[in-house]
A = this chain, B = another copy of it.
Amino acid sequence: MSARALPYRPHNHDACVSQALAEARSICQQQNARLTPTRERVLELIWQSHKPLGAYDVLAKLTSEGHSAAPPTVYRALDFLQQHGLVHRIASLNAFTGCAHTGEHHTGLFLICRTCGNVLELTDTGVSDAIHKAASAEAFRTEAITLEVAGICPACQAEQNHE
Contacts and interface: CB of A to CB of B under 8 A. Distances in A.
Contacts of A147: 131, 145-148
Given A127-B130, A135-B111, A91 B148 contact: yes
Interface string A135-156: 1001111111111111111100
A35 interface: no
A133 interface: yes
Nearest to A127: B130
A92 interface: yes
B141 A157 contact: yes
Contacts of A157: 139, 141
Interface stretch (A37-45, A98-106, A118-126): A118-126
Given A126-B133, A129-B130, 6 more contacts: A91-B92, A91-B146, A114-B143, A131-B147, A135-B151, A143-B152
In the A-B complex, the 5 residue pairs with the smallest Cβ-Cβ separation, listed nearest first, are A91-B91, A139-B154, A143-B151, A146-B148, A124-B134
